Amino acid sequence: MTRPLFWIGIRESEIMDCNHLFTGSITIFGTGENGNRSFDHSTGYRFDYNHEHEQWIAFVKVQLQDIYRKYPDAQFMLYYPDEYNAYGNGLSQRLICQNEDDLINLLEDKHRTRKWLSSCVPVCPYIISLGKEINYDTLCEKFPYYTEFVAQEAYSCGGSGTYFVASPKDFEKNILRENAYSFSPYIENSVSPNIHIIIYDDEVLLLPPSVQLFSSGDERFHYHGADYVMFTHLPENIVHSVYRYARLIGERLRYAGYRGVCGIDFLCESTEVYFMEINARFQSSSFLINRAFHNASVACSVQELHRDAFLHRTCSYHPLDLSVKYSFWGYSYDPRLHRQLQYTHALHVSCDDEDAICIDDNLDWNMHLEKGTYLYKSIFHGNIAALSPDFTCRIHSNIEVEKQLETSLPWNHADAVQWKIMLLNHGVCISENAAKEAEKQGELNYEEFTALDLHVNGEMYVNVPYMANRSQISPFEIDITPKGNYILCYQGEFLANIALRYRDKLSDKTTKGGIPFDAIGYLGNDRLRIFHRLGCFFKDTHCGCKFCDVESTDEILCFEDIKEVLDAYQDNEDVRHYLVGGGSNTLSSNFGNILRIVKYMKTLSNKSIYLMSLPPYDIQLLTRLKRDGVTEVAFNLEIFDRGLAQKYMPGKGKISLEIYKNAFEKSVSLWGNTGNVRTIFVVGLEPKESLLKGIAYVSKLGVSPILSLFKPIADTPLAHLLAPSDKEIYEIYINALRICNENNVELGPACHYCEDNTLKVSLLINDN
Ligand code: SF4
């Protein structure tokens, strides 16, 4: 008969997908039910487990005595195997899966482990020194080219014991004279993978790695979560090295006699992978591997693999082909953000579905919460982090909880810019009451761009992502007042009055040729966009842009169908101007279909006509376009760095800068430099420096740049990438404005109403 097994860990949720193994558990956080004995449940107190806590040790001892009495043959498995000594003498004979103390002690000492493994795998350059024997200036001398450093104590974990040193003042503040630290250069453009390995007598098993997620801002070493999906999108050279080095380290550990689970942390630059440390224990992200086993209906868990490593020579679960499609973020307590954290917790709990699950180990907000203590964690299907073009880890904008910006109505321009950036970046959700009212009034207009059209404070138009890109957990919510007015709230508090735009009824019609109107035209805030073709040449030739969801099609759009749509909208007062756009024609196109549409538009009215297309190879075509009625043009570069342009736009990215330049110069000579010649840049797909270079390049030619924030679109090859942070976007916006001013051009677009999905705010008060 198997003996009763108990888990001693941090959270009860660590064993949620393998609790069949355990008769019960002792944890810091938990329900206190079904065999769980939790410290927080018993004491009404959640403390920061990164610091030692005597009350917790005492709690465990009491629980152990009770378990020994009730289950004389009880056995125990520990999350932190090295802590068994603290829990009293009786425990050591009842432990399963324990490695030798000497080996654990070696691995717990980060300094010794680095030295030990430096002959087997690359280790980030470091020196070990007592605080009193070194200073900031010496560090700068020892590591030329660096001015920022990381100091790590020998025994450190989860960010505590690790310090950022960027000045003599930081050094004085954090570094104790008598303590030993390892000092390394701070490599900003890097990410930190972690891999679980399981060591058996005869083999080493590698489990899927993840990327570790840390706070942005001052608490940059504070561990918050892991992203298994992001790891799968890292460059091949990095993925390969992580597996190779993990195996080498695993073999070294196996020869040394280590058995069972451990986690290895690496630091990766774009071309190098360095070993950082080994954690001789389960990992904070182990529960996600268990979740993947569970959802793949494989009767296995990290705990079982760990147990088996002490019983068998090899792993009995081959073949172990596991894909972990999850990421998670853990929230810890900060009294300054109490209200925001509570709001986010409620929001995540309410969104509980296949895409996101909130686990809080029975959090009660009335408990005494120590600063830094664990509150809850949200598990996401798919990634919440992505590699930035600068090789840093970008966290999705809706993950970290932030303090609300100080703002009051009426907004000044700077307020409006900040809020617009945030709306575009975070998206919006809608309260049940507001959704019901909207349904009564008409259909919300969001399907074309998975975004809602909001008119905010009667001042600015914003096309805000909705039902896409994790907008369900956005801090922005549309609500409705008892008087039936829509309002926009941020973290549950009123922000602005808004109006919503409903779906254009005409778009439901079909042409005589059987083409839906909405495949030909789209009515925006004040502009009718007409597609000059269906699909796109690049998609048809399998080299479409990787961020675009336009589909390839054999269907041909007849001019008669286009005419029918234009006629139908002829008297529509909402149409103040036209846009001719859509997918690209062939590179050698003579723009025949476009010229025909433009000419017809001219017969209907004198409204201005904006053409968005590829730059024509034959620039004389531009003269014809002008003569036939085009009043504005845009040839969108999208990405200035031509290497990245080809990577993300294998077809369109091959068009040389020279071709664009010729078209821009000719266009400026025809339509002037007052905003009628434009180009769109996607913000987020290239480093800030190359984007700003591109903005300078076009504005010097008299072309108005338009900044369009990257939006990951589901089922496209770049669906896993993320837009930059609000702060980075704001910096780009401010720099773009400056560059435009220096070159005497306006940031595009010229039309106030068409700014809705761009990074531009021109406030129009009372613009009815
Ligand atoms: S050119 Fe690129 S972005 Fe434009 S429709 Fe074609 S594939 Fe999409």
Is the distance from CB of 188 to CB of 145 less than 8 angstroms? no
Contact assessment for residue 192 and residue 272, using Cβ atoms and an 8 Å cutoff = no
Band of pLDDT at residue 704, cut at 50, 70 and 90: very high
Cα 198 from chain centroid (whole Å): 30
Report, as an integer, the average pLDDT of 681-697: 98
CB 650 within 8 A of CB 722: no
The residue ranking higher by pLDDT, 155 or 726, is 726
Tokens 């993990």 map to which residue?
246
Q: Let me know: does 660 contact 701? Beta carbons within 8 Å.
A: no
**Region class of 36: left (phi > 0), else alpha (psi between -120 and 50), else beta:** beta
Whether the per-residue pLDDT at 702 is higher than 90: the answer is yes
Average pLDDT of span 119-137 = 94
- Nearest-angstrom CA–CA distance, 592 and 57: 80
Spatial CA neighbour of 686 closest among 490, 543, 547, 539: 547
User: Which protein residue's CA is at the shortest distance from atom 5 of ligand 1?
Assistant: 583
Backbone φ, ψ for residue 394 (5° rounding): -90, 130
Euclidean distance between CA atoms 123 and 338, whole angstroms: 40
CA distance 377 to 345: 9
The answer to whether 24 touches 348, Cβ cutoff 8 Å, is: no
Cross-strand partners of 359: 377
Phi, psi values for residue 317, rounded to 5° = -105, 20
Tokens found for residue 721: 């990438």
C-beta 30 within 6 A of ligand 1 = no
- Rounded to whole angstroms, the Cα distance separating 353 from 341 reads 20
| CA of 652, closest atom in ligand 1 | 1
Query: What is the identity of the amino acid at 703?
Result: V
Q: Which one-letter amino acid corresponds to residue 645?
A: A
Contact by Cβ (8 Å): 691, 732? yes
Q: How much is the mean pLDDT over the chain?
A: 94
Q: Does ligand 1 have an atom closer than 6 angstroms to the CB of 534?
A: no
The per-residue pLDDT for range 648-682, each reduced to its tens digit, is 999 999 999 999 999 999 999 999 999 999 999 99
What is the mean pLDDT of the segment spanning 718-742?
Answer: 97
Q: Which of 534, 538, 551, 553 to mutate to test the pocket of ligand 1 (most atoms within 8 A of CB)?
A: 538
Work out the pLDDT band at 157, boundaries 50, 70, 90.
Answer: confident
| pLDDT one-digit tens code per residue, 619-652 | 999 999 999 999 999 999 999 999 999 999 999 9
pLDDT score of 317? 80
**pLDDT tens figures, 163-177:** 999 999 999 998 999
Asked whether the predicted pLDDT for residue 158 surpasses 90, the reply is no
Query: Which residue matches tokens 């310090």?
Result: 163
Q: Decide if 434 contacts 676 (C-beta within 8 A).
A: no
pLDDT beyond 60 at 766: no
Q: Which of 536, 542, 648, 682 to mutate to test the pocket of ligand 1 (most atoms within 8 A of CB)?
A: 536
d(CA 768, CA 70): 76
Q: Which residue has the tokens 């009294």?
A: 335
Does the beta carbon of 652 sit less than 6 angstroms from any atom of ligand 1? Answer: yes
Measured CA to CA, the distance from residue 684 to residue 687 in angstroms comes to 7
Judge whether residue 767 has pLDDT over 50.
no
Residue 236 has a CB neighbour count (10 Å cut-off) of 7
Structure confidence by residue, pLDDT tens digits, 575-611? 999 999 999 998 889 999 999 999 999 999 999 999 9
Provide the pLDDT confidence category of residue 440 given band limits of 50, 70 and 90. Answer: confident
In one letter, which amino acid is 149?
Answer: F
3-state helix, strand, coil in the chain (%, to 5): 35, 25, 40
CB 680 less than 6 A from any atom of ligand 1: no
User: What phi and psi, each to the nearest 5 degrees, are found at residue 67?
Assistant: -65, -40
Give me the mean pLDDT over the 439-467 stretch.
88
548 pocket-lining for ligand 1 (C-beta < 6 Å): yes
User: Model confidence over 390-437: pLDDT tens digits?
Assistant: 999 999 999 999 877 777 777 888 899 999 999 999 999 999 999 999
Q: Is 681 in the pocket of ligand 1 (CB under 6 A)?
A: no
Strand intervals (E) in 294-420: 326-332, 356-359, 368-369, 374-381, 385-387, 393-395
pLDDT (tens digit per residue) in 55-112: 999 999 999 999 999 999 999 999 999 889 999 888 999 999 999 999 999 999 999 9
Backbone angles phi, psi at 290, to 5 degrees: -60, -40
Tokens of 174: 């954090």
pLDDT for residue 203 is more than 70: yes
Residue 580 Cα to ligand 1 middle (Å)? 14
Q: Is the C-alpha dihedral spanning 730, 735, 738, 744 positive or negative?
A: negative
Q: In this predicted model, what pLDDT tens digit does every residue of 242-300 receive, in sequence order? A: 999 999 999 999 999 999 999 999 999 999 999 999 999 999 999 999 999 999 999 99
Q: What does the DSSP assignment read for 565-629?
A: HHHHTTT-TT--EEEEE-S---TT---HHHHHHHHHHHHH---EEEEE-PPPSSTHHHHHHHHHT
Report the pLDDT value the prediction gives residue 431, as an integer from 0 to 100.
95
Q: What is the 3-state secondary structure (H, E, C) of 348-360?
A: HHHCCCCCEEEEC
Q: What tokens were used for 477? A: 């919510």
pLDDT (tens digit per residue) in 317-341? 876 789 999 999 999 999 999 999 9
Does the CA dihedral 563-568-570-575 come out positive or negative?
A: negative
- Most ligand 1 atoms within 8 A of CB, residue of 550, 639, 648, 716 to mutate: 550
Instruction: Give the pair of three-digit tokens for residue 91.
Output: 């425990």
Give the CA diameter of the chain: 95
Give yes or no for a cis peptide into 335 (omega within 30° of 0). no
Q: What is the pLDDT of residue 768?
A: 36
More confident site: 158 or 728? 728
Question: Among all chains, which residue has been given the structure tokens 């529509």?
Answer: 572
Cα 666 to Cα 646: distance, rounded to the nearest angstrom: 25
Identify the residue with better confidence: 659 or 448: 659
- DSSP state at residue 373: -
d(CA 542, CA 558): 24
- Residue 539 near ligand 1, beta carbon < 6 Å: yes
549, 715 in Cβ contact below 8 A?
yes
Residue with CA closest to ligand 1 atom 4: 583
Q: How far is the CA of 454 from the centre of ligand 1 (A)?
A: 26
Contact 613, 594 (CB under 8 A): yes
529-552 pLDDT, tens digit per residue, is 999 999 999 999 999 999 999 999
C-alpha 299 to ligand 1 mean position (Å): 45
